[in-house]
Structure 1
């Protein structure tokens, strides 16, 4: 997979901190200090503060009334709410786009699925998450609704935040199995079946998170 180079220092800091939060390198509750971050990343205070403000909007960093900043703590309730919102948005995009998919786009989905599985085998959960998200993005973009994709993008980072887990986590298997089933249905030309299976994947994922994610995380 290819990644665009951030156009500004602020964008670069946003990407770096977002990745560290999503992967769990910066655990929930971690105190965020401007000067320490600036020194570690080799930038000035300004892009660090701008990045923190952006990540606060995304829900990844909490800013207290006294202006201290911490990596957002994730509770089971918060995780389930994020999954519910993501499900509504992503399933709408899938429904609107699935009938517009071309053979090339389905093949691209298959490629993203391979990258997803290979990244997990390599222990790279960040790359796995990106490839898994791209699997859905291909269908959502086929709907032609760019505003919907923009809304999905806003939720993706926060949803991935609850997946700050090892490559061995059983939660990933929900998406591996779901994607494989969807591809088989698309190969058969059964777009309605593919949509139903996509929705079912979210139902199964939510149920597993509800069972496995504890409030003391």
Structure 2
């Protein structure tokens, strides 16, 4: 799977910091210092500040009234709330797009699923997350509603970061088995069944997160 080169330094800093937050390299509560980041990434202060502002909008960085910045801390409550929001948006997109899928779309879905599984096998969580998200994106974009996809994109990074799953996490299994079942149903022509199975992924996923994560809270 190929990735586009960010068009600006700000976009490059946003992607780098987002990846570090999603993978847990920058854990929740980490103090963010402009000058230190600029020096580490080899850029000026301006793209760092612009990137921090963008990641604040995405909910990945908290900016306190005194202007100090920290990687957003995570609770079970906001993790489950994000999954609920993601479910509403993504399932709406799936419902609107599923009847527009062609054989070409289904071929792309199968390709993304393979990339998803291969990336997990290689321990590449970022690539796995991107391929898994693309699986849903293909169907949502088939609806023709790009505004919805923009909203989904805003939630995806926050949801991925909150879970910060390793490649070995059992939480991936809901998506692997769900995507496989959806592909089979689509190839059988059962669009309603595919939608129902997609919705079930979120039910299973939420249950797993509630049961297995944040158990000490």
Pair in the same fold by TM > 0.5:
yes
Structure-1 separation of matches of 2:215 and 2:2:
36
**Hey, what does 1:110 align to over in structure 2?**
110
Structure-1 separation of matches of 2:68 and 2:213:
27
1:129 is displaced (CA, Å) by 0.3
What is the TM-score normalised by the length of structure 1?
0.98
**Hey, what does 1:149 align to over in structure 2?**
149
Structure-2 separation of matches of 1:89 and 1:18:
22
Structure 2 counterpart SS, 1:162: helix
**Hey, what does 1:47 align to over in structure 2?**
47
Structure-2 separation of matches of 1:18 and 1:109:
25
Structure 2 counterpart SS, 1:62: strand
Structure 2 counterpart SS, 1:74: coil
Structure-2 separation of matches of 1:110 and 1:80:
29
**Hey, what does 2:204 align to over in structure 1?**
204
Contact 1:75 / 1:216 at 8 angstroms: preserved in 2?
Answer: no
Structure 2 counterpart SS, 1:27: coil
Structure 1 counterpart SS, 2:131: helix
Corresponding pairs, count? 217
Contact 1:9 / 1:43 at 8 angstroms: preserved in 2?
Answer: yes
Is 1:18 matched with 2:36? no
1:170 is displaced (CA, Å) by 0.4
Structure 2 counterpart SS, 1:43: coil
Structure-2 separation of matches of 1:119 and 1:38:
30
Structure-2 separation of matches of 1:134 and 1:215:
30
**Hey, what does 2:174 align to over in structure 1?**
174
1:73-118 Cα shifts (integer Å, max 9, x gaps)? 1111000000000000000000000010010110100000000000
RMSD (Å) for aligned C-alpha atoms: 1.0
Structure-1 separation of matches of 2:215 and 2:45:
34
Q: Gaps spanning 5+ residues in structure 2: where?
A: none
Structure-2 separation of matches of 1:215 and 1:188:
40
Structure 1 counterpart SS, 2:96: helix
What is the TM-score normalised by the length of structure 2?
0.98
Structure-2 separation of matches of 1:77 and 1:9:
34
Structure-2 separation of matches of 1:174 and 1:21:
23
1:27 is displaced (CA, Å) by 0.7
1:112-163 Cα shifts (integer Å, max 9, x gaps)? 0000000001001010000000000000000001111111111111111123
Structure 1 counterpart SS, 2:134: helix
Q: Gaps spanning 5+ residues in structure 1: where?
A: none
Structure-1 separation of matches of 2:10 and 2:98:
36
Contact 1:75 / 1:215 at 8 angstroms: preserved in 2?
Answer: no
